[in-house]
Amino acid sequence: MWSPIIVETLEPNRNYLELLSTGKIPAIIIRNFYDKDSCNTIVNRIENSLLIIRNNKKFKDIGSFLMSYITKRKEYFDDAMKNQKLFAKLLGDLKTTDKIRQSVKKLFYVNSVTLASDSEKYYSPCMIRVYKKGRKIPIHKDNVKFEGKEYNIADIDYQLSCVLHLQESESGGDLIIYKKQWERENERFRNIEFGYSSEVIKSSDFCVISNLNVGDLAIINPNYYHKVTEIKGDTQRITLSMFLGIYEDERKIVTWA
C-alpha cells in the first residue's frame, strides 16, 4: 500500500529524502509539529487583517507565489520584500518559518536549510492560503525546474513541498496524491487556466490524506500530481506553505514560495 510515513517524534533519517524523491512514499506527516495555541494566534491575526476582511466573500491568499510571476522577476522580488513586514506582523514573534527550516534540517539530516536568494534578493519565505467554502485545487504539479527557468532556484536537483495546517475545515479539503510523476509529454493534458485533465492520472494509484489536524506538517514531492478536494462547511481551511529545494551533493536545502 502506498501510504505516508507518520512521524510522532522528530528524529533525523537520511532515508527520508530518497523515499520522497523517488516516490516510494507519498508524504511524510509530522504530527503536532506546531502547538495549537500558536496556530490559533496566527489564524486570529489573519482573520483580523485587512487583506482578508476587505472582501469576506472571497478567499485571499497572503504572500508572493513565484509561479504567478514566471516572467516578472522584478515584480516578484519587489512584492516579496513588501510582504516581509506583513509576515513579520503575522509570524515574526512566533518564528514559524524559522522553526520549519530548523526542523527540516534535523529531519532530513542535511548541512543547512536557508531562505533562497538570487542576486542578493530574497525569495518569498512562505504563502498563507485561505480556503473558503467551495474552494478546491485541481490536479496539478509544482516543478520550478520546468516553470521557473528565469530564476536561479531552477538549478536545484529537485523540490519538495511542506504545508503547515493552521486551521482545518469542517469537511472536505482532503489532500490526494497520485502515484504518477509529471513528464513533459503530459503537457498535452494541461488546462488553459490551471491544472491538468483527469486523463493525466487515469488508472494511477493514489493516496488520500484526510486526517490532518491543526499543527500537523505535511511534506510531499509536488512533482507527483496532487489536488485538494472541495472545502465544505463555513470553517476556512488555512495553511502555511513553502517549497524546499534540494541540492544533493552539498546536502543543503533552500526554501521559497
Among left, alpha and beta (phi > 0; psi -120 to 50; other), residue 95 is left
DSSP H helices, the chain, are: 15-21, 36-48, 50-53, 73-91, 96-108, 144-147
Long-range CB contacts (within 8 A, 24+) of 94-98: 94/38, 94/41, 94/42, 96/34, 96/38, 96/42, 96/126, 96/164, 96/240, 97/125, 97/126, 97/240, 97/242, 97/255
State mean pLDDT over 124-135: 94
What radius of gyration do the chain's Cα atoms show? 17
Amino acid type, 53: I
Residue pLDDT, tens place only, 142-170: 999 999 999 999 999 999 999 999 999 99
Average pLDDT of the chain, as a whole number: 93
pTM for the model: 0.94
Q: Other C-beta atoms within 10 Å of 124: how many?
A: 25
Residue pLDDT, tens place only, 211-221: 899 999 999 99
What pLDDT is attached to residue 50? 55
Angstrom distance (rounded) from CA 229 to CA 211: 13
Angstrom distance (rounded) from CA 248 to CA 257: 20
Residue pLDDT, tens place only, 40-94: 999 999 988 755 545 444 557 899 999 999 999 999 999 999 998 889 999 999 9
Angstrom distance (rounded) from CA 165 to CA 181: 24
Q: Which phi and psi (to 5°) does residue 15 adopt?
A: -80, -15
Instruction: Give the three cell numbers for residue 251.
Output: 546536502
Angle at 165 between CA 87 and CA 224, to 5 degrees: 105
Among left, alpha and beta (phi > 0; psi -120 to 50; other), residue 220 is beta
Which domains are delineated in the chain?
Answer: 5-256 (2.60.120.620)
Beta strand 206-209 with 237-247: parallel, antiparallel or unpaired?
unpaired
pLDDT of residue 210 exceeding 70:
yes
